[in-house]
Amino acid sequence: MKGSLRVGMVQGVNLTPQLLQSIRLLQLTAPQLEQELRQALERNPLLEQEEPGDEPEDESTAETAALEAAAWDELPEPAFLSGGSVGAADDDASARIAEGESSDPRLRLLRLLDLHWAPADLEVAAWWLDHCDDRGYLEQPLDALLAAARAAFPARAGDVGVLRLRLLHGDWPGMAAADARECLSAQLRALPEDAARALALRILADHVDLLAAHDEAAIAAATGAGAALVRAALAMILALRPHPVQAPVSDVHEHIVPDVLAWHAGGAWRVALNRRAAPRVRLAPHCERALAGSEHTVLRGLLDEARWLVRGVSMRNETLLRTAQVLVERQGAFLDQGPEAILPLTLREVADSIGVHESTVSRIVSGKYIQTPRGTFELKRLFAVRLEGADVSGSAVKAMVKRLIDDEPANAPLADDVIAGILARQGIRIARRTVAKYRDQLAIGPARARQRLAPRQVRQETA
């Protein structure tokens, strides 16, 4: 058997921790960013909050952030990360804008794994998640599922068990656990290593019966540990989640906090970030000077972490502001006149205007809100698909359909083909079934269901 060498090119993405943090900051909404920054202020003593009276960010820092924003171009497409098809060149990528946090924990976790798992591994992970219950535990015995996974992925038979362990000790520690003991142990191993954690792992492994009985004295006698250490270990175990599934970040009942503000002044639309939505953080100048040239590992690590956070937030804000400016400039007629004036606009057009990739625009507008004189709504509402064969957007035509139905006579509602005819006389040619589709999206019934008696007829029948 002769050996041979083969030379080839493989496309790959090296996602460093800094890049992963940048991606996450890019996708955070205003409330999420506020929580992230407040936690960073508590965790890192080298960060400090800028007060309203402080001097604004200097021009050199802003210029650096603007230049480094080009690094978003290197971020891969979400479809590329997940192994899906990138799509045809004329696809409208705005259809891929995220709809917010899913209520399905499997989809939320897969979206998170998209950032740093290979597509082939992600397919196996999806299989394991499909065999987990709503709490995140395996629905069948582990041995049976391992055999089924090897049969489902014969080429990866040796990896399916390893990938389950990677899920178990991954972003949601305890996910795909066989039982509560394995779930809690995985959560413990994700905590910093110390004596209490080591004892807690021993208790879970060898003394679950004593743990269930809350018998501290018996646990101390069985493990030879002191009473204080036993109490610390038990407190650590009791603080763990009973199941690995994490709740969605956003709550449907939470108040909307706009990320961007838009207003009309001086004959033009102006845009600004909502600075009240999140604290502004910076490196403490005296700490940075004191650590210049320092070799202290821990402090240097905190300094690097603080620098990456400040830089990442600055890049996020710069990208969000430039995106919002383009959206408001292009959709000024919509803000002035209403939904019927919204123009066709795609992710690709906005991305070309600000010099980034369309996947970057998709990330930055997901879940973000803009406050305007016309109301507060999601940024993605300012995108609109061009109606085939016309110079108007589908969103504008949908608004026209709604206006025609709202203005129709009560006793003579307009049928779908009649609405299509009216629009055709205005130069907008669409099929009857397209009118029916828009009507369904507006939750409006067909003409027969909308028919009502005119006020005169009501009075005559009542008499």
Q: How far is CA 429 from the centre of its chain?
A: 37
Span between the terminal Cα atoms of the chain, in Å: 102
Alpha carbons 288 and 300: distance in angstroms, whole number? 10
Tens digits of residue pLDDT in 40-94: 888 888 888 876 555 444 444 444 444 444 444 444 444 333 333 333 333 444 5
Distance separating alpha carbons of residues 199 and 161, to the nearest angstrom: 27
Both tokens assigned to 33? 């960013």
Asked whether residue 258 falls in the same domain as residue 373, the answer is yes
Closest CA to 73 of 319, 261, 278, 248: 319
Q: Residues 430, 326: one domain?
A: no
Last residue of a domain, one of 385, 412, 440: 385
Q: Of 185-189, 227-231, 448-452, give the lowest mean pLDDT range.
A: 448-452
Q: What is the pTM of this model?
A: 0.52
**Is residue 159 assigned to a domain?**
no
Per the domain annotation, does 179 fall within a domain?
no
Both 379 and 426 in one domain: the answer is no
| Mean pLDDT within 151-179 | 90
Q: Is 137 helix (H, G, I), strand (E, B) or coil?
A: strand
- pLDDT tens-digit profile of 58-73? 444 444 444 444 444 4
* 324 in the same domain as 265: yes
Amino acid, single-letter form, for residue 48:
E
Model pLDDT, residue 455 = 47
In a 3-state reduction of DSSP, which class is residue 89?
coil
Q: Please indicate, yes or no, if residue 105 is contained in any of the structural domains.
A: no
The answer as to whether 182 is a domain residue is: no
List the one residue out of 15, 251, 44, 256 whose CA is nearest residue 112.
15
48: in domain? yes
Burial of 125 (0-12, 13-18, 19+ CB in 10 A): buried
Residue 8: band (very low, low, confident or very high) from pLDDT cuts 50, 70, 90: low
Quick one: pLDDT at residue 157?
Answer: 87
pLDDT of residue 87: 37
Helix (H) or strand (E) holding 270: strand 268-273
Residue 423's pLDDT is what? 81
pLDDT of residue 393: 65
Count of CB atoms situated within 10 Å of the CB of 106: 18
267 and 226 assigned to the same domain: no
Structural domain that includes position 264: 13-75+253-385
Question: Does 97 reside within a domain?
Answer: no
Coil, strand or helix: which one is 372? strand
Confidence band for 408, pLDDT divided at 50, 70 and 90: confident
Specify the pLDDT at position 371: 92
Lowest mean pLDDT, pick from 66-70, 271-275, 353-357, 410-414? 66-70
The confidence band for 328, taking pLDDT boundaries of 50, 70 and 90, is very high
- Average pLDDT estimate for 291-314: 76
- Which of these ranges, 12-21, 90-99, 113-122, 388-397, has the smallest mean pLDDT? 90-99
Contact between residue 303 and residue 288 where contact means Cβ atoms under 8 Å apart: yes
User: Within this chain, do residues 266 and 374 fall inside the same structural domain, yes or no?
Assistant: yes
Secondary structure letter of residue 278 according to DSSP: S
Could you give the strand order of the β-sheet that contains 369-372, starting from the edge strand earlier in sequence? 268-273, 260-265, 369-372, 375-378
Residue 1 CB neighbours (<10 A):
3
257 and 232 in one domain? no
Q: Is 348 contained in some domain?
A: yes
- Give the pLDDT of residue 143: 92
Statement to judge: residues 304 and 317 lie in one domain = yes
Using a pLDDT cut of 70, give the percent of the chain over it.
75
CB 164 within 8 A of CB 129: no
Answer yes or no: is 125 within a domain: no
Same domain, 349 and 278: yes
Tell me the percentage of the chain whose pLDDT exceeds 90: 14
Domain boundary among 385, 415, 442: 385
**Do 203 and 327 sit in the same domain of this protein?**
no
Parallel/antiparallel/unpaired status of strands 369-372 and 375-378: antiparallel
Flag the least confident range among 260-274, 415-429, 446-460. 446-460
376 and 430 in a single domain? The answer is no
Q: Are 369 and 382 in contact (CB under 8 A)?
A: no
**Domain holding 458: CATH number?**
1.10.10.60
Residue 326: is its pLDDT beyond 70? yes
35-44, 88-97, 197-206, 358-367 — most confident range? 197-206
- Residue 149: the pLDDT is 92
Per-residue pLDDT band for 390 (boundaries 50, 70, 90) equals low
Q: Chain centroid to CA 183: how far? A: 26
Choose one of 367, 385, 403: the last residue of a domain: 385
Point out which residues pair with 260 in neighbouring strands. 273, 370
Which segments of 99-257 does DSSP mark as H helices, in order? 105-113, 119-130, 142-152, 160-168, 180-189, 195-206, 208-213, 216-223, 227-238
CB contact set of 109 (below 8 Å; sequence gap of 6+): 129, 171, 172, 175
Same domain, 308 and 331: yes
Cβ-based neighbour number of residue 215 at 10 Å: 15
Number of domains in the chain: 3
Which candidate, 437, 432, 442, 434, places its Cα nearest to that of 402? 442
pLDDT digits (tens, 9 = 90+) for 244-295: 886 654 444 457 888 999 998 888 889 999 887 666 788 877 676 666 666 6
Q: What is the mean pLDDT of the chain?
A: 77
Residue pair 111/96 in contact by the 8 Å Cβ criterion: no
